[in-house]
Amino acid sequence: AQKVTQAQTEISVVEKEDVTLDCVYETRDTTYYLFWYKQPPSGELVFLIRRNSFDEQNEISGRYSWNFQKSTSSFNFTITASQVVDSAVYFCALSEVGTGNQFYFGTGTSLTVIP
Amino acid sequence: DAGVIQSPRHEVTEMGQEVTLRCKPISGHNSLFWYRQTMMRGLELLIYFNNNVPIDDSGMPEDRFSAKMPNASFSTLKIQPSEPRDSAVYFCASGQLSGYTFGSGTRLTVV
């Protein structure tokens, strides 16, 4: 079973639009971490954010914001006023204490921002 | 901090040859992961180590693949013999539960 599900395979938006990338996770652990990574066309994997399971406070970093809801096992990522440079594949990931720090990736969402 | 260092960045080899990919994790990180990324299969976890000990190698595709971590500062992923279907980008990542950093990857092409 998929531990991390990113149902949106590809998304296209026009520059300056807001876009939300969905992430749903599955775990039985009470202690876990959730992550978002960005993979631009250059190929590297860039860390964006980490949240632990005890902190449901939403976070905002510039145009980026994250909505963590344990009740729905979701950790969604919103880009406000998207820019062409935001075009990339975005991966959501889960790390569980109970599986010895095993690190599970979603299948990624490819975001294209059209100028 | 130089980050996770992988070498080589690019490797082109002929089918049947042995290929060794190298990774130097960030000092102090106790977990190390090897991933493979292809267009068809996305990011696949091959193996991961905790404190230099292999914890889960169920993602290693075949006996042709082997990975070692002789010490906390070095890991290798070896493919012997290599096949064209092994062509992919191989990422190494190190970290702890609270965060993981990826290397730049090794792009392997087997012809």
**Where residue A57 falls among pLDDT bands split at 50, 70, 90?**
confident
Nearby residues of A10 by Cβ (< 8 Å), 6 or more positions away:
A109, A110, A111, A112
Residue with tokens 């000092």: B27
Of A37, A45, A101, the CB nearest to B50: A101
Chain B residues within an 8 Å CB radius of A44: 102, 104-105
How much is the pLDDT for B58?
A: 86
- Report the gap between the CA of A15 and the closest CA in chain B (Å): 26
CA A49 to chain centre: 8
In this complex, do A101 and B99 lie within 8 Å of one another by their Cβ atoms?
A: no
Confidence of residue B96 (pLDDT cuts 50, 70, 90): confident
Is-contact A105 A36, C-beta < 8 A?
no
Q: Where does A1-115 show beta strands of DSSP type E?
A: 4-5, 10-14, 19-21, 24-25, 32-39, 46-52, 59-61, 64-69, 74-79, 88-96, 102-105, 109-114
Q: Is B111 on the interface with A (CB under 8 A)?
A: no
* pLDDT of residue A52 exceeding 80: yes
| Greater model confidence, B91 or A56 | B91
pLDDT tens by residue, B20-79 = 999 999 999 989 999 999 988 888 889 999 999 998 888 898 899 999 999 999 999 999
B-chain residues within 8 Å CB-CB of A53?
none
The CA-to-CA distance between both ends of chain B, in Å, stands at: 36
